[in-house]
Chains A and B, each alone.
Chain A
Amino acid sequence: MDPIAKSLKSTSVSAKIERRGKLITQLCTMVIVLLVIAIFAFIASKGVAIFGQDHGSVLDFFTKTTWNPDKQDAYHRPLIGALPMIVGSFAVTLLSVIVATPFALAAAIFMVEISPKSGKKFLQPVIELLVGIPSVVYGFIGLVVIVPSVQKIAGGSGFGILAGSLVLFVMILPTITSMSVDALKAVPRYYREASLALGATRWQTTYKVVLRAGAPGIMTAVIFGMSRAFGEALAVQMVIGNAILMPTNLASPATTLTSILTMNVGNTIMGTTANNALWTLALLLLLMSLIFNIIIKYLAKRGELK
């Protein structure tokens, strides 16, 4: 065989490297996908055990308010009323997002529309710093500063949904802000020019064009903040009071799914009813974060179509 035909038919070195690189990336991706599937399958199988082998009632789980998985009711079903922590989780999440969104949006508008220079110089680093603070520090500050203040204003012990929401507010503020900044930055410059050229003021342009065009991105930011708030465990657990009671007001001790999990998971024995009940809470958390992710994907898709 002549050398040219030979060199054409044999695989070149660069093609071999290419194939090897592709193989490595595919392997790594597969490991990650398998890991996610394994976690999901594990939590799902553990999470439904309470309804199978322990004869728990799904209806009780979502509607009853007594959480005492070791004890049984008259029908020999474990007492797994998770409503107090479900309500607690949703309450702190919604409240913190409602408080944080206006602040985050205002900061984002300032950083993108009003003063990009000082925004980049001061606000950006401050917000990045907020992200880096460990959640135990937030919880500690909440314990020392926020709980006593709530106690002074609202009475009671100070522990409760209000304190939890305020801690979460600071924790999700940077998330919502930096994602809103990205959303506003993604609004093309020519929308702003068109608006200004029609005789709009800068505020009218921001309010009527930029915010409207960036709405899907801002919604994504808010949902992302909610998903963070819903999943945060430690800081909330430190200030919410951890009483498995239906919250009657914002300043009475309550609890969330995550705080029950972190508090009790070390005190139960694998395979017991009490342990299985905790797995069910974990499954609920996982499903919620899945739902948040689906909403984010949906919003992103709708934003692209426009």
Chain B
Amino acid sequence: MTQEVITAQDVHLFYGKKEALKGISLDVRQHEIMAMIGPSGCGKSTFLRCLNRMNDLINDVTITGNITLEGQNIYAPATDTVKLRKKVGMVFQQPNPFPFSIYDNVVYGLKIAGVKDRQVLDEAVETSLRAAAVWDDVKDKLDQSALALSGGQQQRVCIARVLAVKPEVILLDEPTSALDPISATQVENMLLELCSQYTMVIVTHSMQQASRISDRTAFFYQGDLIEMGKTKDIFLNPKNKKTEDYISGRFG
């Protein structure tokens, strides 16, 4: 059960000359939810974006160290980022459905991968939307624009869009911070359902959220990984003074 899916070793990241990650080493295990917490600018989102190489899109970024996905170094020169991103899906902070119909949003990943069979696509739409707990809300308006949905529904459609590609790992960058508490709870419950099949890494500003849904928690501070361990241990018996100060709300 404790098989490592992602292993990061001594990852440094520089924006120009500024060091944003100062040697991060951690691993993510199969079918767990790993939460990353820490004050703004601590590098948790930056690290998350290293895992599917989204930082490649930013100019002037240098990354050193090793990140492996199932034993393969994802920063090896021969790595195909297109294939990598099919294995490592990502959900963003702001719900960002395309300005297309709900159906077209969910099948997007499959269509660009070359799937044309209408039946396969239809099935994928239903299973993904069901898994993302939004099927009942949208089943009668699949041909309508996804932008007409509420924020919470949009975010769940975005998660369904990721699920349709059948990734192994899902990265979530503060997926509920733009949502109201009720929608956020619905998304959280859905993530708990999904963790039997997927490995998830979630960046969150809500410590309650981290404690509610994650198996393990990593605390970042100023580009360093301060502490990592079972969520229960981090929240009840933090070993590091900074961790204790942060989770008790003394700073950040």
Contacts and interface: CB of A to CB of B under 8 A. Distances in A.
- Do A and B form a real pair? yes
B120 interface: no
Nearest to B158: A194
Contacts of A201: 82, 112
CB-CB nearest 7 A-B residue pairs: A199-B86, A197-B90, A198-B109, A190-B96, A199-B85, A200-B112, A194-B96
A115 B97 CA distance: 26
A197 B54 contact: yes
A204 B98 CA distance: 14
Contacts of B109: 198-200
B161 interface: yes
A208 interface: yes
Contacts of B165: 198-199
Contacts of B97: 194
A196 interface: yes
Contact of A190 (B85, B92, B145, B162): B92
B52 interface: yes
Nearest to B59: A117
B134 to A, nearest CB: 17
A204 to B, nearest CB: 5
B119 to A, nearest CB: 21
13 contacts: A190-B94, A191-B96, A195-B108, A195-B112, A196-B85, A197-B52, A197-B162, A198-B85, A198-B86, A198-B112, A198-B162, A208-B112, A213-B99
A306 interface: yes
Interface string B90-123: 1010101111100000001101110000000000
Interface in B147-174: 147, 158, 161-162, 165
A305 B190 CA distance: 31
Contacts of A190: 92, 94, 96
A200 B96 contact: no
Nearest to A200: B112
A247 B223 CA distance: 72
B57 A193 contact: yes
A193 B92 contact: yes
Interface string A27-43: 00000000000000000
A22 B214 CA distance: 59
Contacts of A71: none
Nearest to A117: B59
A112 interface: no
B162 to A, nearest CB: 7
Contact of B98 (A197, A199, A209): A209
Interface string A176-200: 0000000000001011011111111
A191 B85 contact: no
B92 A200 contact: no
Interface string A192-232: 01111111110010001100110000000000000000000
A193 B54 contact: yes
B38 interface: no
A4 to B, nearest CB: 47
A199 B92 contact: no
Contacts of B84: 199
Contacts of A213: 98-99
A194 to B, nearest CB: 5
A85 to B, nearest CB: 41
Interface in A231-289: none
A208 B92 contact: no
Given A198-B108, A199-B113, 16 more contacts: A190-B92, A191-B96, A193-B57, A194-B97, A194-B161, A195-B108, A196-B54, A197-B89, A197-B90, A198-B85, A198-B109, A198-B162, A199-B165, A200-B109, A209-B98, A213-B99
Nearest to A187: B99
B83 interface: yes
Contacts of B162: 197-198
Contacts of A306: 99, 145, 147
A126 B184 CA distance: 50
B189 to A, nearest CB: 23
Nearest to A190: B96
B59 to A, nearest CB: 9
Contacts of B108: 195, 198, 200, 208
